[in-house]
Amino acid sequence: MAKAKVKKVFLDPLGKQNPVFAQVLGICSTLAVTNVLKNTLVMTMGVVFVTALSNFTVSLLRKVIPSRVRMMVETLIIASYVIIVEIALKAFVPDIWRQLGPYVGLIITNCIIMGRAEAFALSNPPGISLVDGLASGIGYAYVLLVIAFFRELMGSGTIWGYQVMGSWWTNWSIMVMPPGAFFMLAVFIWIVKGLLLTNEEKKS
């Protein structure tokens, strides 16, 4: 029973309850860095770390946080973890840290993290909250990695900085510019929703 629940909590955010294409939450801060795969990976790792640990911490403290100020407390917990991420990035990957610029700090206002803390961690024990935060973070990360993969491939003809497209390929410079991210995300949502809809039709 308990095992089944853990499995469900872990798998739901990866599939049909995915925070990005089912709820369209939290794309603000990370969409901006999806033009290069490497930066996206670093950024989403940060998001996974913060989501998991802030969910865990909020859940630990859920009985002592007065409900009137809970948003503020949650924000402060999240902000503390984001500061840890920022300091770590600055120390270990300073180049990427410089490219990410203000977007690392903006993980604080990523709606997914706050959303999970509000919707899940406040009413569940710490262990399962950690799993939920981890899964939501990963569900979020893989969608953005897919987007980043295609944006980098089409926009610069590279993957992870290595040239993969031959000289016949003309870079779609629109893909590395802001509109490319919006189109890419829309197409991704379209494809996934289309698949889900046809699946449902088959069932009924």
Q: Which spans of this chain sit near another protein (rule: CB under 8 A)?
A: 21, 24-29, 31-32, 71-72, 75-76, 79-80, 82-83, 86-87, 101-102, 105-106, 108-111, 114, 174, 177-183, 185-186, 189-194, 197
Residue for token pair 């990963």: 138
Contact 19, 136 (CB under 8 A): yes
Indicate the DSSP class of residue 163: E
Q: Yes or no: say if 27 and 43 are a contact pair by the CB < 8 Å rule.
A: no
The single-letter code of the amino acid at 169 is: W
Which residues are 159's β-sheet partners? Answer: 162
What is the rounded distance in angstroms from the CA atom of residue 14 to the CA atom of residue 141? 10
Among residues 109 and 158, whose Cβ is nearest to another protein?
109
**Minimum gap (Å) between residue 186 Cβ and another protein:** 4
CB of 190 to another protein, least distance (A): 5
- Is residue 92 classed as helix, strand or coil in its secondary structure? helix
Nearer to another protein, 71 or 164 (CB): 71
Nearest distance in Å: CB 5, another protein:
29
Least Cβ distance, residue 6 to another protein (angstroms): 29
Instruction: Give the span between the Cα atoms of 157 and 152, in whole angstroms.
Output: 7
Which residue, 135 or 184, is less far from another protein as judged by CB?
184
CB of 92 to another protein, least distance (A): 16
Closer to another protein by CB, 160 or 190: give it. Answer: 190
